[in-house]
Chains A and B, each alone.
Chain A
């Protein structure tokens, strides 16, 4: 191997060696082939743990029930039984510590998600009692007349009378 012809090869070998050294330093030690094989499982396993640690925001109705049993019992007997508390009250997070109070969404748009009348014959939506928010008491909050925890009951009527 005296010939000068091999000189570029030495450079190439040097470059390859550098890449291999950098690879050793840069690649996380746990990086490898997971249970799904090389095609679908080539990854950094510690990432799975990172995803599992994401904070849960919606704590579900079961969490609310612990303190607000009365409200829970009321809605569970109503046609709105299946609506989760946090759909309207917002995510509980670590309530009552953080946040201390939840921000209730009382907008007409919230109720209109289901009760905006769409005449769709082949969909469950067509079977829901609905209104057109443009003509049905515009400007008034729905809760003025309808009690969301049990829509069969009347809403905050006192509040409405004050307004009128």
Chain B
């Protein structure tokens, strides 16, 4: 069977070779890079612009951004027909293609985040390595850990006050350098779509900007959500442990710290949300007003076939409802959870409506294609480019975060 045939339904006239070639994995790709970029921008707000209120979430979002990083690549690898050749993007890059920059931007960005993390956690690495070294008869696992942490120190074991201050300065510089790279990493994901002149829905110079704004929105939303979840777990743990260790923060202390951080962060979320919606609506109005040749079919896709996806789920549930939830006075944790989840849904649907919606009509402008999401996989292809593949991509960052948290404890300073 031809690639794409399994999930494409064609109606009226489409060219014989047209299928939905870019499926849910290509929806996941900008969604995941968006989360990476957003999480990084959030942590940089503290490091670079000294937004003190974000201190609690800054380190968390940095580690989370690092955990998301390999996953931004995963959907692409699952999507490629020849994933074993993916490395060629680094080997023979063809820079007239928007995708060619991926390897280089991605690596650069990964190195910046890794270096920043190294400076943030160097003290912890050195302390742990020294502590493990002090143990005379190390067990096998302790031995491995000792090796790992010694390697992580990169041989720099100076944790004097001056050295740590140098670290902080480096963090600040890296965070500053990281913001444009993060924006570029994601903005050019928008460029990948925006520059396809053959696709009437994608081609707009606004696409990269829209992508960056919605990326920051989704990144902040996910950080808030994950932050709340981990704080809730810590509250439960705190209730248990407080009896043994009274010096640990109490349930109430944690709770008030949590709501402070969430309220502050959600303000930034609303700001970027407004920017994203404005640009998206501008794009829509402009298309309707100029009514180029393709508008006839675009109108039918936007207002008829994808109406529920675009106006009910994306704009209504994903933008308007969370907007109201966050703007209502006295934000509660529960409302924040609901709001961030809806925002994530909204951003996901925006990616969906761009990627799948852009292929919902034939480039002959005379027919439609419908993406029938494979739910139960019956071969490798329907697994990779179906619901299961998307869920795999969604779950992996949390697994990586769990592992990373063991090496780079996110909440260490309060323990």
Contacts and interface: CB of A to CB of B under 8 A. Distances in A.
Interface of A: 3-5, 7-12, 15, 19, 22-23, 26-27, 31, 38-39, 42
A132 to B, nearest CB: 25
Nearest to B167: A5
A15 B96 CA distance: 25
A18 B152 CA distance: 19
Contacts of A26: 87-88, 91
Contact of A4 (B92, B107, B111, B158): B158
B101 to A, nearest CB: 15
Contacts of A19: 90, 107
Contacts of A11: 111, 115, 154
Contacts of B119: 5, 8
Q: Give the one of A7, A8, A26, A38 with max B CB within 10 A.
A: A8
Nearest to A24: B91
Nearest to A31: B92
B154 A7 contact: yes
B115 A8 contact: yes
Nearest to A9: B115
Interface in B100-123: 107, 111, 114-115, 118-119
Interface string B158-175: 100001001100100000
Contacts, number: 46
B90 A23 contact: yes
B94 interface: yes
B155 interface: yes
Interface string B36-73: 00000000000000000000000000000000000000
Given A5-B166, A26-B87, A12 B96 contact: no
Contacts of B156: 4, 7
Interface in B125-183: 154-156, 158, 163, 166-167, 170
B111 A12 contact: yes
A42 B92 contact: yes
A8 B90 contact: no
Interface SS, B side = helix
A8 B112 CA distance: 9
Nearest to A37: B96
Contacts of A39: 96
12 contacts: A4-B154, A4-B166, A5-B167, A5-B170, A8-B115, A8-B118, A8-B154, A11-B111, A27-B92, A31-B92, A38-B94, A42-B94
Given A5-B167, A19-B90, A23-B90, A38 B96 contact: yes
A12 B92 contact: no
Contacts of B111: 8, 11-12, 15
Nearest to A27: B91
B156 to A, nearest CB: 3
A4 B96 CA distance: 39
Given A3-B166, A38-B96, A39-B96, A8 B91 contact: no
Interface in B222-253: none
A3 B155 CA distance: 12
Contacts of B118: 7-8
B85 to A, nearest CB: 10
A33 to B, nearest CB: 10
Closest 8 CB pairs of A and B: A4-B156, A8-B115, A7-B154, A39-B96, A42-B94, A27-B91, A12-B111, A23-B91
A8 B108 CA distance: 13
A133 B170 CA distance: 82
Contacts of B91: 22-23, 26-27
A11 B91 CA distance: 20
Given A11-B111, A39-B96, 4 more contacts: A8-B114, A26-B87, A26-B91, A42-B94
Contacts of A4: 154, 156, 158, 163, 166
Contacts of A27: 91-92
Contacts of B92: 27, 31, 42
A21 B246 CA distance: 56
